Each structure stands twice: as structure tokens, then as C-alpha cells.
Amino acid sequence: MTPFSLLYVCTGNICRSPMAERLTRQRLDGSERIEPGTFLVSSAGTWGHEGSSMEPFAAAALLELGADPEGFVARELTGPQIEGADLVLTATVEQRGLVVGMVPGAVRRAFTLKEFARLVAAVEPDPPAPSPASATDVVDRARSLVDQAVALRGYGPRGAPGVDDVEDPYGAPLQVYREKVRDIAEAVDHLVAALVPS
């Protein structure tokens, strides 16, 4: 079974994308319905601070939500990372454009995090999965979910400009990081609820 690979992308890979990565790992690792190794979750930056630690306020905001920032090391985004991902979730629409510019074939599997969370909320839920679901079933479900999100893209009302963006908190006080990590956590919760069989 090939794992489902999820790649988060922001600018520097020291604030938004690592917060999303670690929150997603926390949610997935906490599920008894998922075999270890079913999902590979990583992150990178379009202008990455290669080798840097997570921004201290980002780490503090994550800790407050019970996620673990320890050991994080920033990476700069590369074409092979995008090519190897089943799903690429960016912090902003602009970053999604940069991802698709680097690897045009990623157009059908690159979304902003908020956009994808909104789209999967509209997907008709699958019937209850057997317990425990096999890793293959979970991965197949995740890949199908991406296809369904693509099909829904462009339908329904579009939000105001910027509605699908998570603004960069870099340089802001801790309170702003707390607000952004809550935004990210809400979207991640929608994502994980859709990926993990109920």
C-alpha cells in the first residue's frame, strides 16, 4: 500500500505550513481508525528558510492546542515534493499559483487549505466504513475525496477575495498566531473528518 501524501505550503515554512502539518499529524495520530504509515504529512515553503526551526510564537500557539512543535526543520519547496504529493494545500491562493507554476500537473490536486476544507464539507459522506478500515481503503477514500473536490471546484458561490487565504502572522504578536492557528485547526478538523472513515 502506497501512503497518501499530504504537503502543506506557505512562504517561509516556519509559521503556517508547519502549524498545519503538526496539527494534522496530531489529529491523524490520535485516531484509532488509522494504521500507522497510512498518511505522510509534510510541509515546505515557497521561499523557505531551509534548516530553520519553527517560529517561536508558532510553536507556542501549537503547544496551547496540544500539538508538538519539537524537531521541526523548515524546507524549501521543490518540484519533486509537489510531484510526490497526492494533495497539496497552500496557505494562500497566490501560493497555489506558485505550486501549479512549478508543476503544472498539480493543478488538480493543489488547493488552499480553506478552499479544500470548504469543498470536502459539501461532499456526500460515504456509508460507515468497516471497523477497523484497512489502510488501502483509507488511502483510496482520500484519493477519491481529492477527485470529488476537483469536481466541485467552480460550483456554488465564490467567497470574497482572500476568504480562502490564511494570512501570514510572521512578525506579529503571539495573539495573532493564536488566531491563525485556530483558523488552521478549524480547516484541518474538516479535512481530517473527511479523510478518516467515521
Q: What is the CATH number of the domain that holds 59?
A: 3.40.50.2300
pLDDT at 157 over 60: no
Confidence of residue 21 (pLDDT cuts 50, 70, 90): very high
Which of the two residues, 135 and 79, has the higher pLDDT score?
A: 79
Cell, residue 5: 501524501
**Burial class of residue 55 (count of CB atoms within 10 Å of its CB; 0-12, 13-18, 19+):** buried
What does the alpha-carbon distance between residue 92 and residue 89 come to, in Å, rounded to a whole number? Answer: 9
Number of structural domains the chain divides into = 1
What does the alpha-carbon distance between residue 49 and residue 172 come to, in Å, rounded to a whole number? Answer: 18
What does the alpha-carbon distance between residue 70 and residue 4 come to, in Å, rounded to a whole number? Answer: 23
- Cβ neighbours, 10 Å, residue 128: 9
Instruction: Tell me what pLDDT residue 160 has.
Output: 67
User: Model confidence over 100-109: pLDDT tens digits?
Assistant: 999 999 999 9
What does the alpha-carbon distance between residue 18 and residue 8 come to, in Å, rounded to a whole number? Answer: 8
Cell, residue 96: 497555489
What does the alpha-carbon distance between residue 142 and residue 191 come to, in Å, rounded to a whole number? Answer: 10
Q: Can you give the pTM of this predicted structure? A: 0.94
The distance of Cα 142 from the centroid of its chain, to the nearest Å, equals 13
Q: Which residues pair with 7 in a beta bridge?
A: 42, 88
Q: Which residues pair with 9 in a beta bridge?
A: 44, 90
DSSP 126: P
User: Model confidence over 108-129: pLDDT tens digits?
Assistant: 999 999 999 999 988 876 655 5
Expressed as residue numbers, the domain containing 163 is 4-195
> C-alpha angle with apex 162: 159 to 165, nearest 5 degrees?
110
Q: At what angle do helices 174-195 and 16-29 cross, to 10 degrees?
A: 40
